[in-house]
Structure 1
Amino acid sequence: MTPRIARGAVVLGTATLAAAALSGCATGNGNWSEQGLSAEIRRTSYGIPHIRANDYASVAFGMAYAYAQDNVCLMASQVVTVSGERSATFGPDGTTEVSFKPMRNADADAFFRAILDDDALQASAARQSPEAHELLRGYIAGYNRYLRDTPPSKRPAACRDAAWVRPITALDMARLAEEKSIQASAGALAAGIVAAAPPQVTKSAAKSAALPARIDIAAIDFEAVNRDLQLLDPPIGSNGWAFGKAATADGSGLLLGNPHFPWTTTNRFYQAHLTVPGKLDVMGASIASFPIISIGFNKDVAWTHTVSTARRFTLFELKLADGDPTTYLIDGKPRKMTTKTVSYAAKLADGRTEQRSHTFYMTEYGPVVAMPQAGLPWTAQKAYTLRDANQNNTRSIDTWLDIARAHNVGEIRTAIGNLGIPWVNTIATDRSGRAMFADVSVTPNVSTSMLESCAPAGDGAVLAKKLMAGTGMVLLDGSRGVCNWTVDPASPVPGLVPPSAMPVLERDDFVANSNDSSWLANPAQKMEGFSPVLGPQAVPQRLRTRVGLMEIGKRLNGVDGLPGNRFDIQNLQTVLFRDRNLAAELVLDDLLRACRTKAVQGDSDLRDGCTALGKWDRRSNLESRAAPLFREFWMRAHVIPNVYAIAFNPADPVNTPRGLRMQDATVNTAVLKALKDAVGAMRKAGFALDAPLGEVQAAKSPNGLIPLHGGEEYEGVLNKLQSQPVSADGLKVFFGTSYVQTVGFDANGPVAQALLVYGQSIDPASPHAWDQMRQFSAKRWISLPFSEQAIAADPQLSVTKLSQ
């Protein structure tokens, strides 16, 4: 039967549940069946499920069931993607998203079928803990149970009666997790991996194979490569602040978790509360189909994550054998590339289905990648290959389970020591008032000296430096065995940086990160001396990093206009959601001074733009007039070379760079052009130059527009919302503040308020698709019921019992 969520209890039962293992689900130890599983799902306001069960398998059983109720179509579609079945399902020329970028279905199918190594994934999963196996067993059973309980005709419109919605297996779960793990590595370079094909070697080419291939490095547009790959400046991000007893009003820990993730796809968060009495009691948010909480809290600790600057892969330049572009040399000895040919079905427009295939070339490092636009072509002399640090990383479930069971930040530090965290920092605090920042995550063990000694020969050394600085990619000499990753016995994973050598900072005042490196986690104790592979130091910081440290400093010095000089939940929320626009504070005064010149006053567009910006309150609130105009201006102006009047000073990284170099004629001309173009863009889109932000930046819901406060990365607004340039549809947000939580502690347990901006469900017909966005718009936080008393008292409480 299909459950109806209503006040009271709905008991779901079947005459018998399958006792045998699910077909195709055996992975390592364990019997992947529903035998003995039962859970209670209690939903409180905004559709938040609180799952209570007597064991790990059963709590995951309930979690998956609840997630499927809200997002079955989303998960089913992603299972199709990671299975390499999109061409057969939706046609080869449609698109999907791979590592936050669009990709043709045909290319995505080939990529996932080649790169996701099912045998290796299953072998790695066999090393997971028994508790992780139980979580997976329960999650698989819960999702499949929902499919049995809900006829295809009763599912959401996006996948109603769709044949591609099918039961999942353990292999599906492994693939889903692997897709997440490699988003900052192989997934980011998926197009180059698919494009790699050996050159045709003619006799004349074979004769010249001994000559070094020349790369016109000066012709490479590294900025364009960076925009395409999104490695150095990824669209996803986060603010993570943890305060200790020296910085909080009550002497206990306090946390802000503010990830900026996609509002679509399976990188959406999902709120949940998981309870196994005596073993687990954790609440927060998971990433889509993950069977444990990713960002959250228990009665003693709270934690969040921010996207780290550490590298997750390296490229190796291969020296090829004369006349054979598929044989490479290591220490002078030839190694033959292996081929991996994958096949997939493609549904054609005329209704026919044809079989297609694609051949990939593999080395002992990993797949060959070809990106001529980045100076990485496959020629008769050279090829490039990728080694992925996150390949077959099945450790994450155990990592987050151990975090969920931690009693203090020390135990969280121990939990992340298995190197299961794929590409994020960990920021945490506890009720005793200790705060921690840790970039203990999957990172190739490549030292600073190794970056120099293992640079490729000739032009490759220059290219390596340009790639590192311009795109974040590390290029090493693959022709020397000594240049492979260093194996340190202190690391639990061979070839990765050991936890003891990674940036960790524990303090009683605060730690903070907004996606720059560990360098300024606390400016009073700069973290220095780490390999550039862990991120750059002493470089200009993001405006979000700077404004965050400014806000924290002002609060602790008692000069931010709020009472006192310590943080509590209320003033922490105020600081985040007052939507201060740092870019305006840095440059607007100089722009307005230039507005008074005769040249500007004689141009009606510039004059009108200046008048509008003169009215702006320099914030990104709903009522902030001309905020959209400034965004359009600064989107264009912030990339002007040498635009700042005062350059970056590593001795003052929070306050520099700043000002506009308007005394420079070239900069002056470019800045005024940026303003004129911004005025034109606003007028073309049909908006007044002084239109308030909430009129231009709004989400379209079935019940009308929902105005949105917040600003762009380059504006330095903590509450980051990333949008398309202004159009007739306004500023359409597609990334940004997603799940945001503030957590403190009192004698009774955690005190948590949060918002899941886009709501629990992706189904537009769901009452929980837009409900929290309206709260976000009004800056109204939701109190999260954690105790049994709070759950029972929720006015929207409903109960569903899953049982045999």
Structure 2
Amino acid sequence: MKRGSYAFLLLVLIGCGAGATVDQNEILWDSWGIPHIYATHDSNLYQMMGWAQMRNHGNLVLKLMGEARARSAAYWGRDLERDQLLHQLGLIDAAERAFAGLSEEDRTVVEAFAKGINAYAAQHPEAIDKEYRVVLPVEARDIIYHSTRVFYFEFLINRNLGTARKWAPGSNGWAVNGSRTTSGNSMLLANPHLPWNDFWLFFEAHFVTPTNNLYGVTLVGLPVLGIAFNEQLGWTHTVNTLDNVDYYELNLQNGQYLLDGAYRDFEVDSVRIVSGTDANAGEKWVVKKRSEFGMVIETSGDRALAVTWPNMDGETNPLGQWKAMGEAHDLQEFQRALDKNALPLFNVLYSDKHDNILYHFGGHVPRKNGDWKKWQGVVPATGREELWNGYYAASELPGYLNPESGWLQNANDPPYTSTIPAPIQPEDYPDHIAPNHMSFRPQRSARLIQEADRLDLNEFIRLKHDTRSELALRLQDEFRQLMKETTDSLTLSALEVLTKWDGAFEADSEGAVLFANLINQVGSSKYFETPWSYKEPLRTPDGLKNSEAMLAAIRKAAETQLTQLGALNTPFGDVFRMKVGEHDYPGNGGPGNLGIFRTMNYAPGVDGRWQVVHGDTYICATEFGEQIQAKALLTYGNATQADNPHRGDQLKLAAEKQLREVWLSREQQEAHLELLEKLEDM
């Protein structure tokens, strides 16, 4: 497929209006594998969304639906522990209650989405691997099972369990108003960071209806767009520092638990699950024990461990809030969508064409007794004073609207550093809502946008791809001083590499590998003499506690690198790669704990090389003027099916730190048309 003829650097100009004249139900697939879905009403829209996700991710969609049913062991003989936990923690029951309580509007969405999934599978059985056909047909409740699994189990609970995957939730977001731009228009950067596989993958799509023109991404298997913009406004998310999964130690006696001086019965139920797919498949009964302190996950003697998490009763539907956010046409409508408070987590950063910018610390934030520190461990459970007392309303949570600074940022830091100086203070809110700290990636984020002036969209995008390590820059003075404190030749050679290096993690950077090896040994902050201070958030921590210890660590890192790579100045891209399928390019960007805004996390690959497994996923920079300008990229491509040409087809642009045009006008879509599908043929 030819790419040279596509003008990557041009900006798409989009006419304004609430929606478009739509009299056909069809999908225009562009040459990047992105579906532009034209629909006369919601049921058609979401049916075609289900069909579209199956075309690009058919095997993955069905796998995720089967897993969300807690049937992995029955279908594929694997992941029995997750099947058990989905029942034991009450997630399947919560999903059932949530599905039963859906509004007619929300039920239409999931029913139509499931219908599209099944229609594609029926018409294209050859496109689905045999092992995943067992999941068919997909039911509307499966969509709620899946959203419950992703939001509550993966984003929230699984991060706190000892069996949790070792991933770091991360994202970047910027919103700036016209005081910071050359055009006087506000701009928005969406830049989520998630693993590059499985249920974390994004799907990019465009919805065109008579009332809206919405463009963005959602997680594979979900019908509504979760990070998006329309012709009036846009928003992005970052994972926030909230604590809404808590653990309690219960006192037991004769099968009961202690509460307010009396022993009470658990609510007990059980469910049979199957493990194995052959004639020797076994059965297992999972016992579900619910207390007022949450679901029991472990019992030992006269003690039990219980976990509580938000929306255990299935009273809210996160998908409904995302739908309302995407259908908002002004700030007031968007704020009403936020007031639903149905999403269990996420910061929200927002910009619109009327030069408004907004930050909102969102999610189900429980009212508790005690400070943040108390709730980071297991809490002894004896009385009701330790129970959650409902949730804070959206209006009670930290937020900013049009700060004097003219900019907002979040890189997974607490809400109090999302602009500087902050118009809100930590003491304005109960301590258990959020901690107060700022690691090096948020510092880099804030410094980049604070020091920028008179931005245009291209400069906005260039700053987004900054690969310099704020931690490395903070240590440059210390490294130069250390050269005066040692005579060891190997240590001096390593320090020479580190002090000549500019702190960037580009493919040709010659100090980045050595620095990463050093920080892997010593950590990212414990060796500083001056700790982080809210009064000087972008200047601390600083200084070394122990020069001798750092010199020893530098020598050890140098020895290790010489053994592994044979040189101290190995170019970063020789070792760290961006790879999807057959696409393989030198890497740039690095781990967020090093203070790198262009976040890329790598894992061991082949031939001694490492490859990206987590980091920049969807990137979208949007300027909200009379005519919207937007560029975007989905780093790993918009498909996972093995024979789909869009698996990894955007990776070259990612390696080159380029974004592509967002084609929102029908004329542009037809000029880059790959396939046209009509609903009547689905």
- Contact kept? 1:71, 1:763, Cα under 8 Å: yes
1:637 paired with 2:522, answer yes
Q: Paired residue for 2:359?
A: 437
1:387 is the counterpart of 2:373? no
Match of 2:286 among 345, 358, 369: 358
> Counterpart in 2 of 1:527?
425
Q: Is the 8 A contact 1:285 1:296 kept in 2?
A: yes
Q: Among 606, 610, 623, which residue is 2:508 paired with?
A: 623
Contact kept in structure 2, 1:368 and 1:384, CA below 8 Å? yes
Cα separation, partners in 2 of 1:631 and 1:410, compared to 1, 3 Å: farther
Instruction: Name which of structure 1's ranges 252-261 and 721-730 shifts more when overlaid on structure 2.
Output: 721-730
- Which residue pairs with 1:150 in the alignment? 124
Aligned partner of 2:599: which letter? Answer: K
Tell me: CA distance 1:354–1:725, structure 2 relative to 1, closer, same or farther (3 Å).
closer
| Residue in structure 1 matched with residue 183 of structure 2 by the alignment | 250
5+ unaligned residues in a row in structure 2: which ranges? 1-22
Contact 1:739 1:754 in 2 (8 A): yes
Amino acid at match of 2:665: S
Instruction: Compute the displacement of 1:726 (Å).
Output: 9.0
TM-score (norm 1): 0.77
d(CA) in 2 for partners of 1:184 and 1:252?
34
Paired residue secondary structure (1:533): coil
Name the SS for the 1:653 alignment partner: coil
Partner of 1:168: 138
Structure 1 residues 598 and 229: CA distance shift in structure 2, 3 A: same
- Partner-residue secondary structure (3-state), 2:191: strand
**Aligned equivalent of 1:751:** 629
Moved over 6 A (4+): none
Q: How does 1:545-624 map to 2 (within 5 A)?
A: 545-555=442-452, 565-601=453-489, 604=490, 606-624=491-509
- Matched with 1:282 is 214
User: How has the CA–CA distance of structure 1 residues 648 and 163 changed in structure 2, closer, same or farther, with 3 Å as cutoff?
Assistant: closer
Whether the 8 Å CA contact 1:685–1:727 is kept in 2: the answer is: no
Deviation of the 1:436 alpha carbon: 0.3
Answer whether contact 2:28 2:670 (CA < 8 A) is retained. no
List aligned pairs for 1:760-779, cutoff 5 A. 760-779=638-657
Q: Kindly report the root-mean-square deviation, in angstroms, between the aligned alpha carbons of the 2 structures.
A: 2.5
> What is the percent sequence identity of the aligned residues?
22
Q: 1:726 to 1:771 in 2, by over 3 A?
A: closer
Query: Is residue 256–residue 263 contact of structure 2 (8 Å, CA) maintained in 1?
Result: yes
Residue in 1 that maps onto 2:678: 801
Question: 1:204 corresponds to which residue?
Answer: none
**Per-residue CA shift, 1:748-796, capped at 9, x if unaligned?**
3x21111101111123432111111111111121110112333233x34
The answer to whether the Cα contact below 8 Å between 1:408 and 1:429 also exists between their aligned partners in 2 is no
- Decide whether aligned partners of structure 1 residues 680 and 799 sit closer, same or farther in structure 2, where only a CA change above 3 A counts: farther
In structure 1, give the amino acid aligned to 2:556: D
- Whether the 8 Å CA contact 1:189–1:229 is kept in 2: the answer is no
- Residue aligned with 1:46, SS: coil
* Cα distance in structure 2, aligned partners of 1:790 and 1:289: 28
Pick closer, same or farther for the CA change 1:118–1:87 going to 2, 3 Å.
closer
Which of the residues 30, 54, 68 maps onto 1:44? 30
Q: 1:428 aligns with which of 313, 336, 350?
A: 350
Q: Which amino acid aligns with 2:466?
A: R
Which segment drifts farther, 679-688 or 505-514? 679-688
Aligned to 1:137: 111
Say whether 1:481 aligns with 2:384.
Answer: yes
| Structure 1 contact 320–327 (Cα < 8 Å) conserved | yes
Provide the C-alpha distance between the structure 2 equivalents of 1:802 and 1:395, rounded to a whole number of angstroms: 28
Q: After the TM superposition, which residues 83-122 of structure 1 pair with which residues of structure 2 at under 5 Å, given as runs?
A: 83-92=69-78, 105-116=79-90, 118=92, 120-122=94-96
Alpha carbons of structure 1 residues 240 and 639: separation in structure 2 relative to 1, 3 Å? closer
Contact kept? 2:90, 2:288, Cα under 8 Å: no
Distance in 1 between residues matched to 2:230 and 2:583, nearest whole Å: 37
Once the two structures are TM-superposed, the CA of residue 120 in structure 1 deviates from its matched residue by 4.4
The counterpart of 1:300, out of the listed 228, 232, 243, is 232
Cα 1:639–1:283 change in 2 (3 A) is closer
Distance 1:143 1:729, change over 3 A: farther
Post-superposition CA distance 1:9-65 (Å, at most 9, x none): xxxxxxxxxxxxxxxxxxxxxxxxxxxx98311111311110111111111111111
Asked if 1:186 corresponds to 2:157, the answer is: yes
CA distance in 1, matches of 2:91, 2:83: 13
Q: What residue is the counterpart of 1:507 in the other structure?
A: 402
Partner SS for 2:351:
strand
SS of the residue 1:59 aligns to:
helix
Summarize the Cα distance change of 1:477–1:130 in structure 2 as closer, same or farther, 3 Å threshold: same
Measured at CA, do residues 400 and 244 of structure 1 come closer, stay the same or move farther in structure 2, by a change above 3 Å?
same
2:537 equivalent to 1:653: yes
Structure 2 distance, partners of 1:701, 1:725, is 14
C-alpha contact 1:738 1:756 (8 A) present in aligned 2: yes
Find the aligned partners of 1:305 and 1:154 in 2 and give their Cα distance: 33
Matched, 1:498 2:359: no
Match of 2:4 in 1: none
Judging changes above 3 Å, is the alpha-carbon distance between structure 1 residues 515 and 536 closer, same or farther for their aligned structure 2 residues?
A: same
Residue 640 to residue 427, structure 1, CA distance change in 2 (3 Å): closer
1:686-725 equivalences under 5 Å are 686=565, 688-724=567-603
**Other structure's SS at 1:621 match:** coil
Distance 1:393 1:271, change over 3 A: farther
Q: Does 1:403 align with 2:325?
A: yes
**Residue 224 of structure 1 corresponds to which residue in structure 2?**
none
Deviation at 1:83, TM superposition (A): 1.7
